[in-house]
Amino acid sequence: MPDAPALVKCLVWDLDNTLWRGTLLEDPEVALPDEIRRTIVELDARGILQAVASKNDHDHAWRRLEELGVAEYFVLPQIGWHPKSRSVKDIADGLNFALTTIAFIDDQPAERAEVAYHHPDVRCYDAVQAAELAGLPEFSPSVVTVDAAHRRSMYQASFRRTREREDFTGPDEDFLRSLELVMEIKRADETDLSRVEELTLRTSQMNATGVPYTDAELRALRTDPGHEVLTVTLTDRFGPHGAVGVLLLGRHERVWHLKLLATSCRVVSFGAGAVLLNWLIDEAAAADVHLAADFRRTDRNRMMEIAYRFAGFTDDRCDCLTGLPVPDDDPARAGVEFRHLTPDRRPASTTVRVKAPALAARSAAVAAGGTRG
């Protein structure tokens, strides 16, 4: 059986004779077919972002999208007279998405060819396929999470934050304080599991191992007293950022084993990874245990390696690692290495308020009852 195609994270629409019927410069009353409107709404509900790359007058085209009642569905519209390949690249860069996750639809073969020539990883579709896109596997996530259904509004809020940050004249730390950031760390419940699975699959740059965990595996670990499955959300005065992180922690008498740490690239600039690690290190210090973190280098997770080193993790061996699961025993963890830290108490963040359970308070009871690796 062939592998399922990678999911599309953003669909870029041409306008004339693709999204709407007709050419705007010739007919100001171009119409939006019902089947196209249904496709736009359905993809949005699935968490697939949508953008525009159109050769048109920006104000005229955007005004028509507003009149048709669909302007709100599009992020980072690129409407002007430059090549479509440039527009597609600007959208991908603005979203921090790999080109392999971008799709482009246009009625003109020459435009599709121009995009494909410059960006061969972008999947291109003929406009005649527009009404069928929602039925294709690459546009059909197996699970639609709560965050996915609100992904577009969260990205639009992030663009407003970015604009405010650009206008802010003080130090970065003062700007972060002005956002009134709140990080909530909680034990995953049933509704969180699909978000956790999605984060392990979608996050690559801030993923310590790249090891995926299935829904069944996460359910088993969530009920195992020797493990913690923790989800991380972030909010500020602009609204929720949604689920931005996941930790999978194995508890042992002398050491906590951080099997998975993944955080969304969307919150790197807020220092979310450092805040999360410092909280965990402080909890481990309070519990008087060491930390061992799984790490596997990939071609995209250099930032995570740096985050571990800044937090104080090293390659040094420690006898506390004896008895931890050996990566080579599990094919899925091939290439995983241990990072080790003897924790010390860490001060609270001055820019992010953290709401979290007290892991240290539970540690003694779990250790007394024994753990599973």
Write out pLDDT tens, residues 202-259: 554 456 676 777 778 888 888 899 999 999 999 999 988 888 888 999 999 999 999 8
- pLDDT average, residue stretch 3-7: 83
Report residue 259: phi and psi, to 5°: -80, -30
Lowest mean pLDDT among 13-17, 21-25, 260-264, 326-330: 326-330
Unique residue bearing structure tokens 């195992």: 224
CB 288 within 8 A of CB 278: no
- 77: nearest Cα among 63, 67, 68: 63
Is the confidence at residue 305, as pLDDT, over 90? no
C-alpha torsion 318→320→321→325, nearest 10:
180
- Count other C-beta atoms under 10 Å from residue 59's C-beta: 9
Name all contacts of 69-77 with Cβ < 8 Å and 24+ positions apart. Answer: 70/32, 70/37, 70/40, 73/40, 73/41, 73/44, 73/152, 74/13, 74/50, 75/10, 75/49, 75/50, 75/51, 75/152, 75/155, 75/156, 75/159, 76/51, 76/159, 77/51, 77/52
Average pLDDT, the chain: 88
Q: Distance between CA atoms of 109 and 102, rounded to whole angstroms?
A: 18
Confidence band (pLDDT; 50, 70, 90) for 97?
Answer: very high
pTM of whole model > 0.85?
no
- Which amino acid, one-letter code, is at 116? A
Which tops the pLDDT comparison, 325 or 74?
74
DSSP state of 163: H
Which tops the pLDDT comparison, 127 or 326?
127
pLDDT given at position 373 = 43
CA–CA distances in Å: residue 253 to residues 149, 226, 259, 360, 365: 41, 10, 16, 12, 10
pLDDT given at position 212 = 72
Q: Distance between CA atoms of 177 and 168, rounded to whole angstroms?
A: 12
- pLDDT average, residue stretch 349-362: 91
C-alpha torsion 300→303→306→311, nearest 10:
-130
CA–CA distances in Å: residue 358 to residues 11, 179, 272, 282, 286: 42, 26, 19, 10, 9
pLDDT given at position 203 = 53
- pLDDT average, residue stretch 263-273: 84
Please give the order of strands across the beta sheet that includes 123-126: 78-80, 49-55, 10-13, 102-106, 123-126
Which tops the pLDDT comparison, 206 or 5?
5
